[in-house]
Structure 1
């Protein structure tokens, strides 16, 4: 699933999640041409970049050909709130579960970056597709209710 279509899928899926008030497409020009701005029911906000890696040998000059199979088995959706706040780790687990449980037949599985075998410098969610393509959703900004997103990308609050 290429980034523009992945962005649409994430916006649509997160927009239906129980702890999400609104999800909308977000961009920062050429720096981040695809992303999702999420407003949670608490009023806290998160800005997520949407990137991806095509399947081996994929030619982006040609139309995308989706590869489908059985969707991943549903997993429990963990609590988003930890002591009344959202943390990057709780957001990772929550968003990974919501996307995993969407019933999308292109998805093989999803994962929280912090739950993987290889630690990452920044929190986010990864998606493996049946086509062997990958989607990457790194968290770029967070804000508590009533705050702006700030100017420093990847400088996330511990709780928001």
Structure 2
């Protein structure tokens, strides 16, 4: 799944689950991303980068590969108060896993890897061999402005 289509898929998935979601980017530095708004008004902004499947030619129309969707998982509740970023990561992973996309083979949280990432976020493996990566770049409580990229609080 190419980045623009994955961005829209993520936005649609988050909105269907009752979260606020809108496109976000930082021009050529981070051309794709999503602002996610929680019920508390807190926001997490994640970038989207992708690794194309082998032989993908962006001059030609995308050729999705479809197989079985990932098995559904339990969706962790976020609650109405402060939420740990780790819980936001797990919530978004579960929402995307449960979205029923037959293009996706697996969704995983960065914190669940053998060597956890420096920032929260998640990755998606597609049946085509393509991958998407979504690092959390900004996280803020309701009413706060974004700080320095990747300078994330433990909770929002």
Q: 1:103 aligns with which of 100, 104, 108?
A: 100
Cα shift readout 1:103-127 (whole Å, capped 9, x = no counterpart): 1110111011000123212110110
Q: Answer with 92-101 or 60-69: which moved more.
A: 60-69
2:4 counterpart residue number: 4
Q: 1:26 aligns with which of 19, 24, 27?
A: 24
| Cα distance in 1 between the residues matched to 2:90 and 2:16 | 17
- Number of corresponding residues: 156
**Alpha-carbon offset, residue 143 of structure 1:** 0.7
Q: 1:85 aligns with which of 79, 82, 87?
A: 82
2:135 counterpart residue number: 138
| Cα distance in 2 between the residues matched to 1:121 and 1:57 | 31
Q: 1:75 aligns with which of 57, 70, 73?
A: 73
**Alpha-carbon offset, residue 59 of structure 1:** 2.0
1:53 counterpart residue number: 51
Cα shift readout 1:138-160 (whole Å, capped 9, x = no counterpart): 1000110111112x101111111
Moved over 3 A (4+): none
Aligned CA RMSD, in angstroms, stands at: 1.3
Q: TM-score when scaled to structure 1?
A: 0.93
Tell me if 1:159 matches 2:155: yes
**Alpha-carbon offset, residue 79 of structure 1:** 2.2
Gap regions ≥5 residues in structure 2: none
**Alpha-carbon offset, residue 27 of structure 1:** 1.1
| Cα distance in 2 between the residues matched to 1:121 and 1:67 | 31
